[in-house]
Amino acid sequence: MGVPEIERVEPDPRRNDPDLSYGIVEMPQDDEVLYKLIFDRDTSELKLGKHFVIKRFQYGEDANTLFEELFYPETEDAIEKNKNPIKEAELKISGLGYAIVNNIKIPLPLRKAMFRTSKNGKKIQVHTEITRLRAKKFKIKEQEIQDYLISKYR
């Protein structure tokens, strides 16, 4: 019984053809923004991205006033701070921060990543951009967010 001869296979000439290749697949970057919070002052809507309304406020309501101050500051110092994706505000009523945040109905990990309140609920911090790294830290599952958005807009 002899040793079988190994057949030599020539490499596929199409292997290096750029028209048939996917090219270089980019690896996701930690600083890539996955979710962006936007406040539309004309409609008093808090949105996830440009299209998904997650909360509507009544004009003049405390929450509406708070988000207007956060997203549309009027003083020069505040306008400079507004360029930062982390926005902070101090509230006049103790516990109001808790009430505002708890009334925003989005998946809990995403809500925890976007909103923080002080122990007495008088200060609120809003992260308007959630990066891939922050999403990992708060264990945000992209599929869970997609399912939430799809179920909300059926």
Question: Which pTM does this prediction carry?
Answer: 0.76
Say what percent of the chain tops pLDDT 70: 82
Question: Structure tokens of 75?
Answer: 């003083």
**Residue whose C-alpha is closest to residue 85's, from 133, 29, 154, 136:** 133
For the cut 80, the answer to whether the pLDDT of residue 92 exceeds it is: yes
* Predicted pLDDT at 76: 74
* Predicted pLDDT at 15: 66
